[in-house]
A and B are shown apart, each in its own frame.
Chain A
Amino acid sequence: DTGVSQDPRHKITKRGQNVTFRCDPISEHNRLYWYRQTLGQGPEFLTYFQNEAQLEKSRLLSDRFSAERPKGSFSTLEIQRTEQGDSAMYLCASSWPGSYEQYFGPGTRLTVT
């Protein structure tokens, strides 16, 4: 296993468009997390899954944000009707339950024009 992967690495979109990002975690990890990071700030937690169950989603930034992990493996993060303020790095991480050692992917950098 080569680690957590994210696709695409970069996405440029026009305001108002929908975007979807994919995360493939380390295969034996059943926890998967999404974070957002803006320039000069630390990552900000958005949501997480244990297997296919989304156990925390109150930190999603608005109802335009949604995430899925349908079969407990890969996950997608969708942003509808993008706004310029959504421009950021979106990071995915995975871990074993109960561990603070999370393995992060390289991130998807979103630019909304």
Chain B
Amino acid sequence: LAKTTQPISMDSYEGQEVNITCSHNNIATNDYITWYQQFPSQGPRFIIQGYKTKVTNEVASLFIPADRKSSTLSLPRVSLSDTAVYYCLVGEEDNAGNMLTFGGGTRLMVKP
């Protein structure tokens, strides 16, 4: 699985848009990019997944440039409840294991 690099922490304020960028220079052709969110004392929760260009759902948007060596998770108008750790993962969806490899994640703190 390709290694990912993302900021250790970020601060934001309520109502702002937050963009978290993840680097994955060694991404393989068949790899997808997936983001998970984790609140304290809970298991991670799937947010969004993409392969290229842009993906949007009711929670977030995922921007992937043409070279796919990075990706940006965009959270529109964050609230205090978006304070969590966000993990970027890269891997092949149909591989035999689908074992997720989590890095350290980005700790987002949303302030009032």
Contact = CB atoms under 8 A, between A and B. Distances in A.
A30 to B, nearest CB: 12
Interface residues of A, number: 31
B29 interface: no
Contact of B87 (A33, A42, A106, A109): A42
A43 interface: yes
B41 A100 contact: no
A110 interface: no
Interface string A52-76: 0001100100000000000000000
A98 B93 contact: yes
A109 B34 CA distance: 26
24 contacts: A4-B43, A31-B98, A33-B99, A33-B100, A35-B100, A40-B104, A42-B87, A42-B103, A43-B102, A55-B96, A91-B43, A93-B43, A95-B98, A98-B98, A99-B93, A102-B46, A102-B98, A103-B46, A104-B43, A104-B44, A106-B41, A107-B42, A107-B43, A109-B41
Given A56-B99, A104-B45, A106-B42, 5 more contacts: A33-B99, A42-B102, A104-B44, A105-B43, A106-B43
Interface of A: 4, 31, 33, 35, 40-45, 48, 55-56, 59, 89, 91-93, 95, 97-107, 109
